[in-house]
Amino acid sequence: MKWSSWLIAAALAISPCLITAPANAQARIRDVVDVQGVRDNDLVGYGIVVGLNGTGDTVRNSPFTEDSLTHMLERLGVNVQGEQIKPKNVAAVLVTASLPPFARNGSSIDVNIASIGDATSLEGGTLILTPLKAGDNEIYAVAQGTIIVSGIDVKAQGARETRGSPTTGSVPNGAKVEREVNYDFNRNQQISLALRSPDFTTAARIEDTINAAMGIPLASMRDPGTIELDLRGISESPARLLASIENLPVQVATPARIVIDEKSGTIVLGEDVTISRVAIAQGNIAIKVRETPVASQPNPFARGESIVLPRSEITITQTGSNNIAMLEPNVTLSQLIAGLNALGVSPQEMADIIRSMKAAGAIHADLVIR
């Protein structure tokens, strides 16, 4: 790291102009909790895509595609026994979807398509009627439709360009719900709210907010990740009750956390990251290595060979003065980084500074490195 104490001092001098006062994080209850039992259900199915422009599976590498096509044609009344079918416009795919909670018969859901053979592109293909099953092996939806592919694969003589993934696609509203998940929500006498990021402070604030809005001790915190709602003695239905409390604002307690993404050089700081009094020393060590090889010749008419003798000169110097800077405890990490960033310090150098300060115990926050 090639920055000196004057850089730190300048950073701390200009940083108050770069940082604004943090605001309390306000969110709706519905944005920080999930209602226990109300969730999506994953669906999956095996299907056939037809109508491809010569970019489908090859029979040699994907024999299951030929078998699937043969069985499909036989179910449609076409006798292909003993025939060798080698089309290039058919591909075997896996179809996935999410069944939303409370989905009813006839509702439409989106489906995603992914090739499982050696097809090069699904562009222009049509998914043939495909049943979608859940974990209980029951069929809950049926998918069919024209595939939309976001990727592109362009080939020319001696060149090829691929953007995205042309072997995956989607069918918006491509599946119809055929079976409902039986769940009578209004029969619940107790509802659990699960925090997406468990925290004691946030859970306590949600409990206080709900009880203050309802005027009765309806909510109770079971643990930092769960709020229990006791519905006994409540005249309105559970669905109506949740509709009245899910939009209540609550102040979310954010953890003191620093996330460093070394690949992209991104540094994200939490609101409550603080610094203790610490001294930082910088190296500014310059190492110069100069090679001056010397050729050695044998004497005239002597037996021998010319050789090169290595001559290396290493010089270590240290530039600058006052290489230790003191950070006072009233300086926040966000102010320090904003000032260093304004002076052109690279994200990699900032990451090194943060890691060193964390190892010294000067940063009071969780450090996450990706």
Amino acid at 205: R
Span 58-98, pLDDT tens digits: 877 778 887 888 888 888 888 777 666 777 899 999 999 99
Confidence at 16, pLDDT banded by 50, 70, 90? very low
Residue 116 has pLDDT above 60, yes or no: yes
The residue with greater pLDDT, 339 or 26, is 26
pTM above 0.75, yes or no: no
Residue 156 has pLDDT above 80, yes or no: no
What percent of the chain is predicted at pLDDT more than 90?
A: 31
* pLDDT of amino acid 282: 52
Q: What are phi and psi of 54, to 5 degrees?
A: 70, 15
Confidence at 264, pLDDT banded by 50, 70, 90? confident
Span 348-369, pLDDT tens digits: 777 887 888 788 887 888 888 8
Indicate the DSSP class of residue 303.
Answer: S
Amino acid at 75: R
CA–CA gap between residue 107 and residue 119 (Å, rounded): 31
Span 212-245, pLDDT tens digits: 998 888 999 999 999 999 988 788 888 888 998 9
CA–CA gap between residue 86 and residue 68 (Å, rounded): 12
Contact, 41 vs 180, CB < 8 A?
no
Span 271-300, pLDDT tens digits: 777 777 766 665 554 445 555 667 777 776
Q: How many other β-carbons are positioned within 10 Å of the β-carbon of residue 321?
A: 9
Confidence at 211, pLDDT banded by 50, 70, 90? very high
* pLDDT of amino acid 15: 41
CA–CA gap between residue 221 and residue 216 (Å, rounded): 15
Residue 162 has pLDDT above 50, yes or no: yes
**Range from 6-15, 167-176, 275-284 carrying the lowest mean pLDDT:** 6-15
CA–CA gap between residue 187 and residue 70 (Å, rounded): 49
Q: How many other β-carbons are positioned within 10 Å of the β-carbon of residue 338?
A: 19
- Average pLDDT score over the chain: 78
Contact, 181 vs 101, CB < 8 A?
yes
Task: Kindly state the average pLDDT of the residues 47-59.
Answer: 88
CA–CA gap between residue 211 and residue 157 (Å, rounded): 71
Most confident of 14-28, 230-244, 323-337: 230-244
**Dihedral angle at the C-alpha atoms of 179, 185, 188, 193, nearest 10 degrees?**
110
Chain mean position to CA 193: 24
- 179-184, long-range: CB < 8 A, 24+ apart: 179/105, 179/138, 179/139, 179/140, 179/141, 180/103, 180/104, 180/105, 181/41, 181/99, 181/101, 181/102, 181/103, 181/140, 183/37, 183/101, 183/102
